[in-house]
Structure 1
Amino acid sequence: MPSQKDFLKGFGSVAIHSGHEADGNNAHLTPIYASSTYVFDTADQGMRRFNGEEKGYIYSRWGNPTMTEAEQKISALESFGITKNGEPLQLKSILHSSGMAAISALLLGVLKSGDKILSHFSLYGGTQELMDKVLPQLGIETVIVDLRDLNKAEEVLKNDDRIKLLYLETPANPTIQCVDIDELTKLAKRNNLIVAVDNTFATPYLQQPFKYDVDFVFHSTTKFLNGHGTAIGGVIVGKDLEFMNGRMEKVHRLLGGNSNSFDAFLLTQGMKTLEVRMERHCNNAMQVAKFLQQNNSIAKVNYLGLTSHPDYSTANKQMKHPGAMLSFELKDGLLAGKKFIDKLQMCVRAVSLGTCDTLLSHPASMTHFGVPKEKREKYGITDGLIRMSVGIENVEDILNDLDQALK
């Protein structure tokens, strides 16, 4: 079977077959290459590989066949159906040990001291803390604006030429806000900005930011791409192949946040079922959101599939489906949130998201505990907010558990 699967027409087929190379021992699946290093036939061959004249593996911090398959599969999914100048869009992915390792490498790879990031409120707590507590010590500042207001974004860019990167997370964590990738990227390009998008919540099945000419896409592969909660991982995907094969690959290697063969193997197997999993996740989520909307103890439901969500139209524009993530705000605040979480019977009390089982967390006491209360509340992360990753269980069991926990 050819290594390039451009002839495949379906997303699910690409998820299963892309990236796979025939194994020398005729293994059906790419094996777990549990080798830290790779041998050279001669000194000259080693020299050719180190200087890039010959392709081949050298050291697993730099990559190995198991990791390569996962990377190529992600590139194929993010570029699925997208063309550039009449040809299929070519992307390169670099797998990392975690989502935070990937985002750290990306930011350090494209920014320098004195540069600024433009982003919006309600980001993943780890990203927010990285921008607040680590990057400023390196001379990199972050400007936070409500990027759903394009006029505000334009005004900020007009008055600050130190902004070099537009960083978007859409849908955003945990308030499920959605920003317009297309319009914001156009604005960024007029101001010579690099654009990076965290596509973790949506996955390439629901949203493909490269359609809108962004420069980088980032994922915590721990979540929906793996889909089973079995491995931590992250990935950077880029369209500038020279940059990805040069500067970005060098930064990745030197920072040392590489993935490993076992986690890459689990990720590869998880991605094969991405399409069917996301269909069930999304169908369940829509029913859960409608159920929650009718409950008297809930003040607000944040789900992009509800017409009451302020970003409903934006989500419809750029997403195939509103997704599997939602959040809701209990009327009685922190105490109500903790009581609700404690009463769950089937749904799981855990951080993270994107697994087959339904996960619920309380951001104020968990994922965003490190973000100051006043900043959290400014961003819409109240004490009574519950984040929910809707699983693929039978939906009636999810609804029954929520119902008894809310009483």
Structure 2
Amino acid sequence: MADHPFIFSGFGSAAVHGGHEEDPRHAHVTPIYATSTFRFDTAEQGMRRFTGEEPGYIYSRWGNPTFTEAENKIAVLEAFGLNLHVKGLLHASGMAAITTLMLSNLKAGDKILTHYSLYGGTEELVLKVLSQIGIEAIISDLRDLETAEHILKQDKGIKLMYLETPANPTIRCVDIEALTTLAKKYGIKVACDNTFATPYLQQPFRYGVDFVIHSTTKFLNGHGNMIGGILLGRDIDFMKAKVTKTQQLLGGNANPFDAFLLNNGLKTLELRMERHCSNAMTVAEYLAQHPKVSGVNYTGLSSHPDYALAQKQMRLGGGMLSFELKDGFNAGVRFMNRLQMCVRTVSLGTCDTLLCHAASMTHYGIPKEQREQYGITDGLIRMNVGIENSVDIIADLEEALG
């Protein structure tokens, strides 16, 4: 056995082996630790575990070896090549991770600065739930750095800047580095939802953000067979103390079976993202020339308004795109009903191609006038481009558009 840790030179190797700890019974794949609690050898050991003097597991709401594997692996990937140590906390869902983020960093009277075109669940959380406990959201176009600085300069109540890039479902991007630099100037923490890009395509910690969030349900798992989320932070002491305690008391922990599925899905992340991205580029180019499509939002197309920014902070264009049908809501419904191979559903990040009509599905709870302000029109279709053969994806789209 070597007396020093192996250093991974490739992302794919880190995705397969990163974060792994040898199982005491030498299982090749980290097992599903389906236990609610963990026993102590002595009363004294129990006391040491509770005081934190001795590392170890107590109760699965507070931690579990199957969770730890996924937490450590994702932390390795988000910090890959950055000479940075981060800590991850696995959650029952992406929304649970976001809730822990908000409630561990904000209190009544504090404000969040965020931008247009967030995931609908996140927007509803900050506008309809956090507002009830005195936490206010300021939503602006953060692609305009002058406006962002004006807001930060004028409002001392802002304590957290929350970014999502590329955003759901318009695929708009914000400049992580510029906004983080601006936030730090005013002593404000920054969190970034990296679900759409994954750490293979984009690493927000590279630009100084404090927290990264994922819905692990999506590309990290990649197979649509589990629900989960993760919150990662670079302030290890804060993550171990305030954030961990908040998660434990909210009860938004993961479960061992979903963590097991996530661990297995992560191993193929690099391979899947390469195929997602190459297929998405092919599909985006096809849609861009279709007579019934008025516009395509894909960061890999030079026509995308944030193309240059995406080239700067993303490795490839990603597996997500959206496109707008010329005839609006009815055209969207008709198109969705004519799909055969591609799947009508609201999630994303799976191996199969998934399509969603935002106005009637993910953003149905957002008023029409507000949706359109964010670029979410009645004819907008969000598309997770899967890893099938691109010729078959396009054939299905051609039939549905016809």
Q: Distance in 2 between matches of 1:320 and 1:165?
A: 27
Question: How do 1:128-277 residues align onto structure 2 when only pairs under 5 Å count?
Answer: 128-277=123-272
- Aligned length, in residue pairs: 402
Q: Match of 1:61?
A: 61
Q: Match of 2:44?
A: 44
TM-score, normalised by the number of residues in structure 2: 0.99
Contact persistence 1:303–1:309 (CA under 8 A): yes
Q: Match of 2:96?
A: 101
Deviation at 1:131, TM superposition (A): 1.0
Q: Distance in 1 between matches of 2:392 and 2:11?
A: 30
Q: Match of 1:81?
A: 81
Deviation at 1:361, TM superposition (A): 0.3
Deviation at 1:5, TM superposition (A): 5.2
Deviation at 1:325, TM superposition (A): 0.4
Q: Match of 2:32?
A: 32
2:253 maps to a residue whose letter is N
1:362 maps to a residue whose letter is H
Question: How do 1:10-25 residues align onto structure 2 when only pairs under 5 Å count?
Answer: 10-25=10-25
Contact persistence 1:5–1:14 (CA under 8 A): no
Q: Secondary structure at the match of 2:322?
A: strand
Q: Secondary structure at the match of 2:232?
A: strand
Summarize deviations over 1:311-357 as a string: whole Å, max 9, x none.
00110010000101000000100000000000001000001100000
Q: Match of 1:92?
A: 87
1:348 equivalenced with 2:325 (yes/no): no
Q: Match of 1:86?
A: none
Q: Match of 1:72?
A: 72
Deviation at 1:22, TM superposition (A): 1.2
Q: Distance in 2 between matches of 1:147 and 1:110?
A: 21
Q: Distance in 1 between matches of 2:63 and 2:8?
A: 26
Q: Distance in 2 between matches of 1:149 and 1:130?
A: 24
Deviation at 1:6, TM superposition (A): 5.1
Q: Secondary structure at the match of 2:360?
A: coil
Q: Distance in 2 between matches of 1:163 and 1:127?
A: 18
Instruction: Work out which of the residue numbers 378, 396, 400 in structure 2 matches 1:401.
Output: 396
Q: Match of 2:118?
A: 123
Summarize deviations over 1:280-323 as a string: whole Å, max 9, x none.
00000000000000000011100111111110011001000010
1:157 maps to a residue whose letter is L
Deviation at 1:256, TM superposition (A): 0.2
- Change over 3 Å in CA distance of 1:3–1:362 after alignment to 2: farther
- Change over 3 Å in CA distance of 1:151–1:6 after alignment to 2: farther
Deviation at 1:19, TM superposition (A): 1.4
Extract unaligned runs of 5+ from structure 2: none
Q: Secondary structure at the match of 1:25?
A: coil
Deviation at 1:24, TM superposition (A): 1.8
Q: Secondary structure at the match of 1:164?
A: strand
The sequence identity of aligned pairs, in percent, is 66
Q: Distance in 1 between matches of 2:87 and 2:205?
A: 12
1:327 maps to a residue whose letter is S
Extract unaligned runs of 5+ from structure 1: 84-88
Deviation at 1:3, TM superposition (A): 11
Deviation at 1:31, TM superposition (A): 0.6
Q: Secondary structure at the match of 1:196?
A: strand
1:209 maps to a residue whose letter is P
- Change over 3 Å in CA distance of 1:4–1:406 after alignment to 2: farther
2:106 maps to a residue whose letter is L
Contact persistence 1:4–1:19 (CA under 8 A): no
- Change over 3 Å in CA distance of 1:69–1:3 after alignment to 2: farther
Q: Distance in 2 between matches of 1:2 and 1:107?
A: 42
1:282 equivalenced with 2:284 (yes/no): no
Q: Match of 2:369?
A: 374
Summarize deviations over 1:177-211 as a string: whole Å, max 9, x none.
00000000000000100000000000000000000
Contact persistence 1:66–1:261 (CA under 8 A): yes
Q: Distance in 2 between matches of 1:26 and 1:259?
A: 24
Q: Match of 2:359?
A: 364
- Change over 3 Å in CA distance of 1:174–1:37 after alignment to 2: same
Summarize deviations over 1:244-266 as a string: whole Å, max 9, x none.
00000000000000001100000
Q: Distance in 2 between matches of 1:139 and 1:257?
A: 22
- Name the Cα RMSD after superposition: 1.0
Q: Distance in 2 between matches of 1:306 and 1:21?
A: 41
1:406 maps to a residue whose letter is L
Q: Distance in 1 between matches of 2:329 and 2:2?
A: 56
Q: Distance in 1 between matches of 2:4 and 2:311?
A: 32
TM-score, normalised by the number of residues in structure 1: 0.98
1:44 maps to a residue whose letter is E
1:137 maps to a residue whose letter is Q
Q: Distance in 2 between matches of 1:381 and 1:4?
A: 52
Contact persistence 1:289–1:326 (CA under 8 A): yes
Deviation at 1:2, TM superposition (A): 7.2
Q: Distance in 1 between matches of 2:318 and 2:23?
A: 36
Q: Distance in 2 between matches of 1:75 and 1:142?
A: 28
